[in-house]
């Protein structure tokens, strides 16, 4: 079910649908590309298609597992900064990063399943937030990075 198929008075289902749409859209930017293409740097920053998926995996773990779930980044085994979350290890592949993303999404769904949007969560270092705020932040990040990924994919396909 897409975001436009949800009744307008069902805010939670709408937020879930939009988040799921962008999660899938970001993964889809890797479809049909080689490992080398997904790692290729086309901009001065460390941003690559595979690095974007690794970053949004980290970002969702921060907002859902740390902020909502209350487990620290250190205990989750996460890098401490957003910049570091883009860096690819030699063993990172499209399959492994996609699997990690899907695992993070499944954990996120489970953590929020029974929580109302007005629930105040306190696990983030910047202070309490409502679950609604967390959803909007995650949606903002996903949409932002989907735009980056679309442009990188377009550049890769034009170059090869």
Q: Above 90 in pLDDT, residue 9?
A: no
Is the pLDDT at 31 greater than 90? The verdict is yes
Full-model pTM:
0.92
pLDDT at 91 (0 to 100): 97
Residue 118 belongs to what H/E stretch?
Answer: none
Looking at residue 15, its pLDDT comes to 94
3-state secondary structure 35-75: HHHHHCCCCCCCCCHHHHHHHHHHHHHHHHHHHHCCCCHHH
Q: Reply yes or no on whether the pLDDT at 139 is more than 70.
A: yes
Give the pair of three-digit tokens for residue 150. Answer: 């679309």
User: What is the rounded average pLDDT of the residues 82-87?
Assistant: 95
- pLDDT at site 159: 87
């Amino acid at each position: 079910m897409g975001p436009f198929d949800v009744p307008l008075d069902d805010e939670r289902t709408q937020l879930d649908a939009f988040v799921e749409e962008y999660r899938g859209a970001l993964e889809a930017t890797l479809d049909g590309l080689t490992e080398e293409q997904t790692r290729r740097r086309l901009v001065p920053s460390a941003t690559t298609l595979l690095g974007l998926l690794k970053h949004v995996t980290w970002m969702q773990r921060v907002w859902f597992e740390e902020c909502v779930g209350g487990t620290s980044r250190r205990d989750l085994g996460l890098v401490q900064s957003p910049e570091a979350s883009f860096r690819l290890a030699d063993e990172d592949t499209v399959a492994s990063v996609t699997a990690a993303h899907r695992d993070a999404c499944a954990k996120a769904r489970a953590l929020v399943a029974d929580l109302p949007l007005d629930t105040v969560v306190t696990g983030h270092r910047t202070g309490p937030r409502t679950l609604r705020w967390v959803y909007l932040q995650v949606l903002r990040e996903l949409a932002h990075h989907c735009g980056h990924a679309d442009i990188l994919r377009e550049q890769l396909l034009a170059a090869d």
